[in-house]
Amino acid sequence: MSHKSRNRKPTRPAMSPLLRALTFSRAAHEPITRAMLLQAYASLDAFCRGQGSRELFTTLGRQLLIAEELSRIGHLPEAADDIAEAQIAMTDIDAAEKASGKWTVEGDNYAWLTIALDALDRQLAVASLEDIAKAEARMIEGLMRTEQELAHAAVAA
């Protein structure tokens, strides 16, 4: 029996067969996109009732980042400014929580968030699951890059 070393790297497909099948299945599309929208609207509703939380803030923020990435991919690119305004509203919510200890949204911030969630709804209706997965991956990469930049800045300071 030979003990030669193998130089072959084990290769893994970029996507599991199950995920690939789901990505290309329109039957799987609606439940996934409806779940995403339900999370976003439930989070917004909690903020309107003054019952928001850091977890709901994160959930809503991630959905807005996915909407931003879907715009970059080409799904409703004209909504990019509305999504940016909603992200500004999110920073206002965070600042208000730091000042008052309450997670709430109202007025213009609520309006921008509803506009952005309507855009996300329209994006999800036309985007393939593959594009949604790409948008989620880009969102996660962006969050990781930001975290690394903050860590490097903290070390440099």
Q: How confident is the model over 39-96, as pLDDT tens digits? A: 999 999 999 999 999 999 999 999 999 999 999 999 999 999 999 999 999 999 999 9
Domain extent for 79: 29-156
Distance CA 72, CA 78 (A): 10
For residue 137, tell me if it sits in a domain. yes
Q: Which residue intervals of 13-128 are DSSP H helices? A: 17-23, 26-48, 54-73, 80-100, 107-126
Q: How does DSSP classify residue 77? A: G
Evaluate if pTM is beyond 0.85: no
Q: Is residue 145 part of a domain?
A: yes
Residue 11 domain-assigned (yes or no): no
96 belongs to a structural domain:
yes
How far is residue 14's CA from residue 41's CA, in Å, rounded to a whole number? Answer: 32
- Count: domains in the chain: 1
Which residue would you say has higher pLDDT here, 113 or 26? 113
Q: How confident is the model at residue 7 (pLDDT cuts 50, 70, 90)?
A: low
Whether 118 is in a domain gets the answer yes
Is residue 113 assigned to a domain?
yes
Does residue 17 lie within any of the structural domains?
no
Closest-CA residue to 86 (of 50, 55, 142, 43): 43
- Burial profile 110-132: b = 16 or more Cβ within 10 angstroms, e = fewer: bebbbbbbebbbebbeebebebb
148/20 Cα distance (integer angstroms): 30
What is the average pLDDT across 13-36? 72
Q: How far apart are CA 52 and CA 135, in angstroms?
A: 25
Nearest 5°: phi and psi at 31? Answer: -60, -35
The answer, yes or no, to whether residue 19 has pLDDT greater than 70, is no
- Give the pLDDT score at 1: 53
3-state SS class at 13: coil
Q: Would residue 5 count as lying in a domain?
A: no
Q: Are 104 and 47 spatial neighbours (Cβ–Cβ below 8 Å)?
A: yes
